A and B are shown apart, each in its own frame.
Chain A
Amino acid sequence: MYNLIGAGLIVIGGGIGLGQIGGKAMEGIARQPEAAGKIQTAMIIIGALLEGLAFGALLLGK
């Protein structure tokens, strides 16, 4: 029961984080379309780091 609540909290946190990353990256691309490639790469790296954190927490909570 408690680990399910924990999983929900992790997903909320991860969702907010990913939303921030994706939203800001899109803003950046809209402002500077010529930098789209670089922004995308950086976005994927930060997304992956966040994902590692969230998955780590999920695994520890299991």
Chain B
Amino acid sequence: MKIAQKSIKFLTIVAISLFTTLSFASESNKTDNQNDGGRVNTKQEINDYIKHHLADSHDFSLFSYTSDAGERKHVGFSLPVIVWTSKGLVTFMSSEFHHNDDGHVIVEKDGLKLAKIHSKIYELDNGATQVSFDETHHAKNAHKILDFSITKSVVGILIAAFLIFFGFSKLAKQYKSKAIPTGLGRALEPLVLYVRDEIARPNIGEKKYKKFMPYLLTVFFFIWILNLMGLTPIGFNVTGQIAITVCLAIFTLIIYISNGSKDFWMHTLWMPGVPKLLRPILAVLELAGYLLIKPFSLLVRLFANITAGHSVVMGIAALMLLLKAEFGTVGATGISFFLTLFLTVIEVLVAFLQAFIFTMLSALFIGMAVEEHEHH
């Protein structure tokens, strides 16, 4: 009971601290939609919104709307922008861009001119005062710079890291005093045992699985928690960022390459029991499989599943706007609500399944690499 009370208190504090920093700031006019009285095309807006959600952004916007006066209002809070420019490190808050994403707002810092185009920060060349675009809509007189900003995804990762740290340090502490954990730990323990007994042991083998347990557990809970966070209305899409999944796949690649046994390299590079002429061809195929195809399929599966799930859920939710004419307000909302509910329940399953699959295949690849064959 005490832990339940404490965790409710903790969650309330987190929620309050999140929402007190809301800044109802910044209004930017959508200049390109002025001719229809500031109102935007519904289909276009839905499309833009889904695209905006799927991409990482420099500010944490919760929702936005067009007011009756035709102004675009954004509700959310800004995040710090940290960039490495030609004149060194520059930091400022993303609110200085006023939610502009097409390079019209120029921020001046230490004589540098910075613009944000499609969620990427560009530095303007010397003498330029405005970004000019060529026919393919690439900036002509600006170049990309190294961006270390605390973006929305980074905030998501930090929250996930905090949740994992909080939950598991609590679980670990409990083992010192009692054999059976209570509270949150009781929910986490079966999952840890599941990863050990169903994923690590059968795939890596009884002798060597212990060394890889920390990685497998971290990757499992990282992906699972971030997938679940993506289903909350706060709207993180971290595991749907290809950069994140590339990093996770590279971790797995490094781990199974650096732990490869002698037998593994032998079987990859000079396969025994095969005609000598075929061995180089097999070596090329095996190397391509281990170095490229396996990590690529790992990263693409996670990325595409989460991206597809998010865009389908958002598209179905947006159906209520498109079906309003045919079914009326209540009918369209009802259809959209039940379809969204149905899909979200499936997404909860997919969130677990993808975490499981990523960990499972990582364990499988590690198991293939560390396995020692019996010689006959």
Contacts and interface: CB of A to CB of B under 8 A. Distances in A.
Which size bracket describes the interface of B in this complex? 10 to 19
A51 B305 contact: yes
A53 B304 contact: no
Interface in A35-53: 41, 44-45, 48-49, 51-53
B300 A59 contact: yes
Contacts of B353: 44
Contacts of A53: 297
Contacts, number: 35
B301 A48 contact: yes
Interface in A18-58: 41, 44-45, 48-49, 51-53, 55-56, 58
Interface stretch (B112-120, B316-324, B356-364): B356-364
A12 to B, nearest CB: 17
Contact of B297 (A41, A44, A52, A58): A52
Interface residues of A, number: 12
Identify the interface centre among A45, A49, A55, A59: most chain B CB within 10 Å of its CB: A55
A44 B198 contact: no
B304 A55 contact: yes
A21 to B, nearest CB: 14
Task: Report whether over half of chain A's contact residues are helix, strand or loop; otherwise say mixed.
Answer: helix
Contacts of B251: none
Contacts of A59: 300, 304
A58 B297 CA distance: 12
B212 interface: no
Contacts of A56: 296-297, 300
Given A44-B357, A56-B297, 16 more contacts: A44-B353, A44-B356, A44-B360, A45-B360, A45-B361, A45-B364, A49-B297, A52-B296, A52-B297, A52-B298, A52-B300, A55-B305, A56-B296, A56-B300, A58-B304, A59-B300
18 contacts: A41-B198, A44-B353, A44-B356, A44-B357, A44-B360, A45-B357, A45-B364, A51-B301, A52-B296, A52-B300, A52-B301, A53-B297, A55-B300, A55-B305, A56-B297, A56-B300, A58-B304, A59-B300
